[in-house]
Amino acid sequence: MQREKSDQLFKIAKECMPGGVSSPVRAFKAVGMDPLFIQRGQGARIYDVDGNEFIDYVGSFGPLILGHSHPEVVKAIREAAQNGTSYGAPCEKELELAQMICSAIPSIEKIRFVNSGTEATMSAIRLARAYTGRSKIVKFEGCYHGHADSFLIKAGSGLLTSGVPNSAGVLEEQARNTLVARYNDLESVEKIFREEGRDIAAVIVEPVAGNMGLVLPDPDFLKGLRKITSYSGSLLIFDEVITGFRICYGGFQDFAGITPDLTTLGKIIGGGLPVGAYGGRKDIMSRVAPEGDVYQAGTLSGNPLAMAAGVATLKILQDRDWYDRLEVITYMLATRLKTVFEEHGFFYTINRIGSMFSVFFTESEVKTYEDVLKCDTAKYAQFYRHLLEEGVYFPPSQFEVCFVSCAHEMEDIEATVQAVARALDKMA
Ligand SMILES: *Cc1c(COP(=O)(O)O)cnc(C)c1O
């Protein structure tokens, strides 16, 4: 694989950008190599500056459910841009997207657009704190909710329920207000609520965990969270930044039959442009300024280009056949991959739902964050590097999810299976 140009650019980038990147995972540290500079994306494929071509399973880490550069989305962005890129005033596309999302996700009665998932979750907990008059939040180990201070918290030592900072620059004071429970472990949540229930404003959870690799919720886990929060007067926040419009048209909540109080969205609803949103029950959302007393604002929020890309994307996805197709094609891929891994004698687990999947190098099932930590990340790194040589672009970390898009064809699946087989041959 040629990579002179990427290497050259990365060397310069490191001089003027921390780690040479705008977001840490892009530096490829977890897979022990330097990143490739991408020149363009088309459908299911991306092309780097050295002319290498890859079948892409990253999809910009979630937004690109239609694949790269979908003609309808590009057309919508182009048309919007011709009328100006930002007004700092309401526009019709914004209303159109709001209505589409509110009717697709019934628990969202009112919605506020922001510019990233991080802003959405950060604003949602501010709102939850205002609404309940309580200070603490509960999050789960291994779930990611963006990089606001309140979420960069990991579990403290055994006896403490409150967390400790996961990043320099996050204050201990902040960590005291974030309690960390274990995903798929209701008992860990009950314990926290027994001790601190009256101070808990909200529980925030990824209804399907997609930031520790793919970990599916046990059937009773989300139901249990709904019950505990309702009983205790805390709000339940579903962080559907990844799962929104990924598994079905709407939220995973509709698929699971659970109604959260607030939902955060991002990724797919922006069609590849920077967007986030939070929404939920009317009485809660009415507390957001200017209707209410919870301040939250944004110069570029509801941006016409981003709204146009979101509307164009959701319009296509309204044809639910796409979800059936994604299900079938990803099921085929996962099934074929299982055979290949078995033929090569590797211990592995593949978790999958809809068009999301993760390949874990481990002997056991992966149902908790503890299971995730047992995976052989060195082996994943080795697998990753060989697979890249074979023309398949997986996420550069064991803990990120692979995404299949509507642009992936059966030929791509077949080519991917062959590439994985060759990568495993080299590892044997
Ligand atoms: C990506 C992600 C975020 C953060 O979104 P950004 O747009 O990167 O700020 C929040 N929550 C979840 C579940 C995510 O996957």
CATH number, residue 141: 3.40.640.10
Give dist(CA 234, CA 236) in Å, integer.
7
Within this chain, do residues 192 and 241 fall inside the same structural domain, yes or no? yes
381: CB partners within 8 A, 6+ apart: 30, 31, 32, 398
Summarised one tens digit per residue, pLDDT across range 371-406 is 999 999 999 999 999 999 999 999 999 999 999 999
Summarised one tens digit per residue, pLDDT across range 119-132 is 999 999 999 999 99
| Amino acid, res. 26 | R
Is 80 exceeded by the pLDDT of residue 157? no
Summarised one tens digit per residue, pLDDT across range 297-330 is 999 999 999 999 999 999 999 999 999 999 999 9
Give residue 267 CA to ligand 1 midpoint distance, Å: 7
| Ligand 1 atom index nearest CA of 146 | 4
234 lines ligand 1 (CB under 6 A): no
What share of the chain has pLDDT > 70, as a percent?
99
Domain termination site, one of 295, 317, 339: 317
242 lines ligand 1 (CB under 6 A): yes
| Ligand 1 atom index nearest CA of 117 | 5
Within this chain, do residues 95 and 22 fall inside the same structural domain, yes or no? no
Within this chain, do residues 284 and 331 fall inside the same structural domain, yes or no? no
Within this chain, do residues 294 and 381 fall inside the same structural domain, yes or no? no
117 lines ligand 1 (CB under 6 A): yes
Binned at pLDDT 50, 70 and 90, residue 294 comes out as very high
Judge whether 350 and 338 are in contact, CB under 8 Å.
Answer: yes
Is 80 exceeded by the pLDDT of residue 158? no
Average pLDDT over residues 343-361: 97
Longest dimension (CA), the chain: 62
Within this chain, do residues 44 and 81 fall inside the same structural domain, yes or no? no
Judge whether 224 and 181 are in contact, CB under 8 Å.
Answer: no
pLDDT for residue 156 = 80
Within this chain, do residues 280 and 181 fall inside the same structural domain, yes or no? yes
DSSP state of 216: P
115 lines ligand 1 (CB under 6 A): no
Give dist(CA 101, CA 78) in Å, integer.
23
Within this chain, do residues 164 and 273 fall inside the same structural domain, yes or no? yes
pLDDT for residue 188 = 96
Q: Which two tokens stand for residue 169?
A: 């620059």
| Ligand 1 atom index nearest CA of 116 | 7
pLDDT for residue 428 = 78
Residue 213's domain comprises 71-317
Within this chain, do residues 126 and 243 fall inside the same structural domain, yes or no? yes
Q: Which of 65, 115, 144 to mutate to test ligand 1, by most ligand atoms within 8 A of the CB atom?
A: 144
121 lines ligand 1 (CB under 6 A): yes
Within this chain, do residues 132 and 41 fall inside the same structural domain, yes or no? no
Is 90 exceeded by the pLDDT of residue 71? yes
CATH code for position 360: 3.90.1150.10
Summarised one tens digit per residue, pLDDT across range 19-45 is 999 999 999 999 999 999 999 999 999
Domain termination site, one of 261, 295, 317: 317
| Ligand 1 atom index nearest CA of 242 | 15
Give dist(CA 75, CA 309) in Å, integer.
9
Indicate the number of domains in the chain.
Answer: 2
Is 70 exceeded by the pLDDT of residue 410? yes
Summarised one tens digit per residue, pLDDT across range 275-284 is 999 999 999 9
Helical segments of 160-215, H only: 172-176, 186-196
Q: Which of 21, 152, 211 to mutate to test ligand 1, by most ligand atoms within 8 A of the CB atom?
A: 211
Give residue 145 CA to ligand 1 midpoint distance, Å: 5
Within this chain, do residues 291 and 396 fall inside the same structural domain, yes or no? no
**What does the buried/exposed string (b/e) look like for 170-191 if buried means 16 or more CB atoms within 10 Å of the residue's CB?**
beeebbbbbbbbbbbbbebbee
403: CB partners within 8 A, 6+ apart: 57, 58, 59, 61, 62, 64, 65, 246, 355, 356
Q: Which two tokens stand for residue 307?
A: 């709204």
Which pTM was predicted?
A: 0.98
Give residue 345 CA to ligand 1 midpoint distance, Å: 35
Domain termination site, one of 302, 317, 332: 317
Within this chain, do residues 172 and 202 fall inside the same structural domain, yes or no? yes
Catalytic amino acids? 144, 239, 267
Give residue 64 CA to ligand 1 midpoint distance, Å: 14
Binned at pLDDT 50, 70 and 90, residue 411 comes out as very high
- E strands, 373-413, are 392-393, 402-403
| Amino acid, res. 116 | S
Within this chain, do residues 327 and 273 fall inside the same structural domain, yes or no? no
Measured over the CA atoms of residue 359, residue 365, residue 371 and residue 376, the dihedral's sign is: negative
Is 70 exceeded by the pLDDT of residue 159? no
pLDDT for residue 160 = 64
Give dist(CA 411, CA 43) in Å, integer.
13
CB atoms within 10 A of CB 231: 10
